[in-house]
Structure 1
Amino acid sequence: MKLVVQVKLLPSPEQASALEATLRACNRAATHASQVAFTKQLTDRNSLHKEVYADLRATFGLSAQPAVRAVKKVVDAYTTLKANLRAGNLGPPASKRYRTAIATPISFRPEAAQPFDDRCLSWQYDARTVSIWTVDGRMKNVRFACSADQMKSLVAHRKGESDLVRRDGKWFLIATCDIPDPEVYEPVDWIGVDRGIVNLATTSDGTNYQGRRLGRYRRWQARKRAELQARQTRSATRRLARRAQKEKRHATQMNHRISKEIVSVAQRTGRGIAVEKLVGIRERVRLRRDQRGILSSWPFHQLGQHLAYKAKKAGVPFLEVDAAYTSQRCPRCGHTERANRPGRDRFCCRRCGLAGPADVVAGVNVRDRARSAWVFVTAPALSP
């Protein structure tokens, strides 16, 4: 499995100035190559390389390998754009967003991330420094900081490109680590996880991770955003961007904490983890206008992603099961009816009388479906 490790660079003022000039030169070169690719309809890497390589070196001051990286960056950007168009992520072909995307060449921000391969960037792990190509020449002894676990992953598993990123005046290197998949054990049982808004996650064991604090925090951020948007100044716009990143990091940290605890319990008890498959929830569910922003911005998908990759890293079995009627089905007798859930928090079966917290019942249903699904997945193929 592939994981990314983000380390913080600690450049001197002179080194930071050279890194900034390098990012700007690389992104100017990539924007130029993008315009050529768009004008001449060059879709493959070799054709674009032949067309722009000499210009990138002569006009923008790039050496050989950074020029190659800039061309690849452009080709990858157009490949991603085509994939998004095919998937409908930019709306139907008649939409304004779709038409704008196909009518204009891709451009790159002056300080957008820039990939560096091992010819342009080398790591000195013992000294905790890197040597990196810049427009001012090869720059050595650029210090970086990371945790012990990150260093262990870098030394043992780093592979491929590393991205140079500048964010809020700070410098980072994002490295890709190719970690071998551990063997997945045979689970003795499953932990069903029900995800929601009021309760971020509820397990079939009855453990509840409430979203009340996160909800209050997001409502407070929404009020502050409204105040800043009303000012309509450049300073307010910059503060809005910082607040958005802060809110995103806060939600991500909560999802990391929740997923880490669930995976730890599953690994310790020899069980697997099962969650509901919530793909297409926006198309299936109709909400009031005041609820749409909450559902669209709530980190359901991210929590599922964190559970999936942490489980895979730990060798814990992970399944996604059908989400239909998990909150309305009685796990004891199987009776399914909307009236089984008289309130948001309570479940009471109209047939057998089983009662309990609705989210715990949903988690139990997810667990039961995982038991059946795992038997089907691991069953040996029948011989003809």
Structure 2
Amino acid sequence: MTADPPVLDVQSLDTLIHTPGGDPLHVLHDVTLAIAAGECLGVVGESGSGKSVLARTVLGVHGRTSRLTHTGRIRLRGEDLLTASARRRAELLGTEVAMVHQDPMTSLNPVVRVAEQVTEALTNRRRLGRRERLRTAVELLAAVDVPDPERRARAYPHELSGGLRQRVGIAAALAGGPALLLADEPTTALDVTVQRTVLDLLDRHRETRGLATLLITHDIGLLYGRARRIAVMYAGRIVETGPTDEVTERPAHPYTAALLRSVPRVTGALRRPLPTIPGTPPDLSRPVPGCPFAPRCERADAGCVVAVPPTVAVGAGHEVACFHPLAREGNGAAGSRTSLPIPGAATGTAAASTSASGTTTTSASATTRKDTP
């Protein structure tokens, strides 16, 4: 018996942004991933690693001033999106693929009532009367647990809290019954308790609707217990991918291990320095040969700065792009098993900070995660 084909199948995707008067920026390099129906794939990495560009490339939406070229393949339910016409891509938006945007404060139109925005994916394809549009909006808002949906459907976005606005965004994304949901850091700017509520809501609809979900975040701890698999991105490349438990407990790439070490722990000494990743992410406008993480990697040698490492298997479904992957029994730094904080504890979101010496490092700020079942 053969397995069902993936809802999203990305193969060898390269994306270049052509800037006025400059060389093109190579923002995605040989990205390959697949998501099945009902599955959540988490994509994690620092700001500038290419996570949002990947989502927007799948969606086919970029800035009006950006000119991009792509090579490779993006198949949605077997249909190649890169070769589809602009009209066909527009038909797929909202009905086959939808997106929950990063910032609920700005992703909604401030001068349009909630009901119209929630039902936009439907009204673009068939005419709805005013009463039918309002009734549909109320049903969708109720499905994402918006209290008093009749009143909120008639409201403007500025009358709602950030958490309610994000629920409105989720309702709008689900309105057309898509097969693929792209969630681009959906908990940005939300309180930690609201973050968990929003993520639980996405989990519930993924399971009940059989949604293939691409969950983008820079908080690797947020994915624990939510995403079945993790893809770690750095400088537009997927440097490690595998089952969530495997990647978080036995990371093979030094960058993945560094992200995990940057997550604050509630155990251990009260006063201790927070581990950071020295250096800064690479400047894509100034590409350099070799492994992009080599300048920040304690395991790099002369070979790492002249050649890009190939992707190799280190376990069942676990792959890494590194010349010197960490030992399977440990994280390669402390010589012991890497694990996330205890259930119910706070985890962290990687963020850039500058030390007194002027060196930029990656640290973490608190957020919460779902407990492992």
TM-score by length of 2: 0.27
Q: Which structure has the highest helix share of the two? A: 1
The structure having more radius of gyration, on CA atoms, is 1
TM-score by length of 1: 0.27
